[in-house]
Chain A
Amino acid sequence: MADAKVIPFDDDRDRPRGATARGARSRSAAGGAGGAGRRKSDKPGQPSPLAPVPGRRAADEQRGTGQRPEEPGDGPGPGRGPEAEADAAAGAGERADQDAGTGTGAAGAAGGTHEQERPANGLLDRMLGSDWDARASRGLAFLRRRITGDYEVDDFGYDRELTDQVLMSLMRPVYEKYFRVEVKGLENIPAEGPALVVTNHSGTLPLDGLMLQVAVHDHHPDGRHLRLLGADLVFMLPLVNELARKAGHTLACAEDAQALLERGEVVGVMPEGFKGLGKPFADRYKLQRFGRGGFVSTALRAGAPIVPCSIVGAEEIYPMIGNSRTLARLLGFPYFPITPTFPLLGALGAVPLPTKWTIQFGEPIPTDGYPPEAAEDPMLMFNLTDQVRETIQHTLYKLLVRRRSVFF
């Protein structure tokens, strides 16, 4: 039983008021009801703290079906607490109101049947964390959806579930531990509606785009998802194209950008393209030409604000001191980088340097004040392109001045 006592305190931490005593009480009564049910109801946004409903939970378990409260045939709950409204939020509806106030603490003998299971369960809880069973069941539900193909992708092949559950978790350690990315100004990406994020591009391999995606995904207060536009090379390479599409990237062309903005997505674009990505180390933090400014006309057509974004730190991950044009032509790549370690050390040389990154989002530049024919106006295009470019360049310089060291 000593093990069992560890859990409530852990769980009670996120209960705002007066839950400790009740939690302890219900813990001893609920027995093996475990974290799964409680986790389910403890979703954020349900204000009232929820203690498990001991009798019902136990009754469910006895039946071994794990029925949810709203299912018919579930007798009147003997032990509904005052927290019944949380169950109502979970869909129980009027039933819960009727049951509310029928008394607490009628844990009864049912709870007792699980007493003998506690030690084993407690051991697992200790080893795997208190909510291991909830996580396991979530994982199995995920596995089940994946192997039966029961998930959705959008027209561009964006697999949101896979991105959230797998791809982002794979990139997160790189983001948090390796590059220790610091993000500023995320509030400049609007909470809803379209936006075009324009950033500098550097680092020989497009890791900056991936880190930008993690930054928006993990830290934007409204959980926006960044849809990056990639070069056609990305969509020609096997495996890379598959992963890029599933992560929500699509080809950098006016049609796709327009379609995404019309759907109200946040679109990320690197107008420098390969010119920025494959520039020599000596040119670091010097913005290259911004294409033909097609991104401005796309944003104007969609009326989407342009959010300039500067990334510091990506330039130094692979200091490109040379470019083997012969190899590049042979392999069909726009450049073939030679860094102090690559290809000298082979695969080991392909490990990026652990630089410290800063991503700064700037003030959005509105584009909805222009007449519809503005998208065709070359002067306006060049002016807006220059404005965006200057903003990013100045922010880069500011961030560089403030930077203590490349690696810290």
Chain B
Amino acid sequence: MGKVVLVTGAARQLAALFVRRIQRDPGVDRVIGVDAQPPQHRLGAAHFVQADIRQPAIGKVLAEYAVDTVVHMDVQGTPLDPRGGSRTSAKETNVIGAMQLLGACQKAPSVRRLVVKSTTSVYGSAPRDPAVFDETTPAKALPSGGFAKDAVEVEGYVRGFARRRPDVAVTVLRFAHILGPAAESPLAAYFSLPVLPTVLGYDPRLQFVHEDDVTDVLRLAAGEPRNGALTAGTFNIAGDGVLLLSQCARRLGCPTVPMLLPAIRWSRSVLRSVGATDFSPEQIRLLTHGRVVRTAHAREVLGFTPRHTTEETLAAFAQGRGEGLLQPRRLAEAVDRLAGLLAPNGNPAAGKQEEVPHHG
């Protein structure tokens, strides 16, 4: 008898990608996607149920299909519908939805496995924090609001659920910023700006995880544990390596506009009152202090090694995004031309020749 997997938040791009992929797994019989709105992306052969996880109806769905694996992906930073949705509705889906879903799971004896998509935002981002966060590092300053606080609360409910249903294997995956050719996330939206506003005097360290790695690790956690691996627990998931924001901007070819921190806060309130684009205070904090997590635990216990490094993930995102105003290729060519001007006088730029293989 194969598994029946229920995926929440299936209307989103990333969840749809995961739904399409997990159907192909040999042990999986049936995949059920759930969301409050009709899906915007293909779900393949999966069965879509339009249900709001904030309503008790979700319990009926669990019972009707005898679901044994629940993958909760409906913890989102942005509301699904950018026009109609507000921060309040997003928060409700995150927190009330998680409570309702976990309550339903608790009542459903068929559920054996729960996988929750969380975020590394739960660590907050403060100058007093250690440079690299472990799964066990307590945050010095808990996120005061927004998506990060939702995630902290959802994780709290999940821990409570794990105590009440010790027979269910609970996996919490804390993802770094998810990027990829088509990823939708607040950071992807930020990187899509033609000019990147940055905080003057700060150069945060960032880590990304590729959407393919996200679906891989979700499949790994939703499936039967491999020999010696333990899938229950909390794991940081991030690509190897670290990029500075300035480095990202240069690789994407985006000019940056360093702004004073108070000016950013002020312009944020102006933008918000006009009703234009909104960026959350936690995003500003991230772009001020940055965040890096250690992924050794996922490697050793979960047996998961991301296929894409932080660098490759950004490159994949850059390809999907199109070229920026200051294309790195053009800049490199300009430098090479300058080197070429010097060349007739000496050996044509020995250093340049050494660099070429890196750029391809």
Select from chain A the residue with minimum beta-carbon distance to B354: A141
Select from chain B the residue with minimum beta-carbon distance to A235: B127
Contact with A along B222-257 (1 / 0, CB 8 A): 000000000000000000011110111111000000
Complex interface residues of chain B between 198 and 232 (CB less than 8 A to chain A): 199-203, 205
When the two chains form the complex, which single residue of A34, A121, A141, A242 contacts B203, counting CB atoms closer than 8 Å? A242
Query: Quick check: B250 and A157 within 8 Å, CB to CB?
Result: no
Given contacts A124-B345, A147-B328, contact A255 B127 (CB under 8 A): no
- How long is the Cα–Cα vector from A156 to B203 in the complex, in angstroms? 12
Query: Quick check: A32 and B345 within 8 Å, CB to CB?
Result: yes
Question: What are the residues of chain A within 8 A of B261 when measuring CB–CB?
Answer: 238
At the interface with chain A, which of B48-56, B150-158, B263-271, B332-340?
B332-340
Question: What are the residues of chain B within 8 A of A255 when measuring CB–CB?
Answer: 130-132, 134, 137
Contact with A along B343-354 (1 / 0, CB 8 A): 111111111111
Complex interface residues of chain A between 59 and 100 (CB less than 8 A to chain B): 60-61, 64-68
* A160–chain B nearest beta-carbon distance, Å: 13
- How long is the Cα–Cα vector from A238 to B292 in the complex, in angstroms? 19
* A154–chain B nearest beta-carbon distance, Å: 7
Query: Quick check: A133 and B331 within 8 Å, CB to CB?
Result: no
Q: How many residues of A contact B (CB 8 A)?
A: 61
Given contacts A153-B242, A153-B247, A232-B128, contact A37 B350 (CB under 8 A): yes
Complex interface residues of chain B between 308 and 324 (CB less than 8 A to chain A): none
When the two chains form the complex, which single residue of B137, B335, B351, B358 contacts A138, counting CB atoms closer than 8 Å? B351
When the two chains form the complex, which single residue of B289, B338, B342 contacts A133, counting CB atoms closer than 8 Å? B342
- How long is the Cα–Cα vector from A155 to B132 in the complex, in angstroms? 7
When the two chains form the complex, which single residue of A121, A157, A238, A253 contacts B201, counting CB atoms closer than 8 Å? A238
Q: How many residues of B contact A (CB 8 A)?
A: 52
- How long is the Cα–Cα vector from A34 to B343 in the complex, in angstroms? 10
- How long is the Cα–Cα vector from A150 to B246 in the complex, in angstroms? 11
Question: What are the residues of chain B within 8 A of A307 when measuring CB–CB?
Answer: none
- How long is the Cα–Cα vector from A240 to B130 in the complex, in angstroms? 17
The reply on B355 being an interface residue by CB < 8 A is: yes
Query: Quick check: B345 and A121 within 8 Å, CB to CB?
Result: yes
- How long is the Cα–Cα vector from A279 to B312 in the complex, in angstroms? 49
* A143–chain B nearest beta-carbon distance, Å: 6
Query: Quick check: B242 and A157 within 8 Å, CB to CB?
Result: yes
- How long is the Cα–Cα vector from A115 to B200 in the complex, in angstroms? 52
Question: What are the residues of chain A within 8 A of B348 when measuring CB–CB?
Answer: 61, 64-66
* B173–chain A nearest beta-carbon distance, Å: 20
19 extra A-B contacts, CB within 8 A, seeds A136-B342, A149-B249, A250-B131: A32-B345, A34-B345, A35-B346, A39-B350, A65-B348, A66-B349, A117-B344, A117-B345, A140-B349, A141-B351, A141-B355, A150-B359, A155-B132, A155-B292, A156-B205, A157-B205, A157-B244, A235-B127, A241-B202
12 contacting pairs across A/B (C-beta < 8 A): A34-B345, A66-B343, A68-B353, A117-B344, A140-B349, A141-B351, A155-B132, A156-B205, A157-B131, A159-B244, A238-B201, A256-B131
Sorted from nearest, which 3 A-B pairs have the closest CB atoms? A238-B201, A133-B346, A66-B348
Contact surface of A with B, Cβ cutoff 8 Å: 32-37, 39-40, 57, 60-61, 64-68, 117, 120-121, 124, 133-134, 136-138, 140-157, 159, 232, 235-242, 245-246, 250-251, 253, 255-256, 259
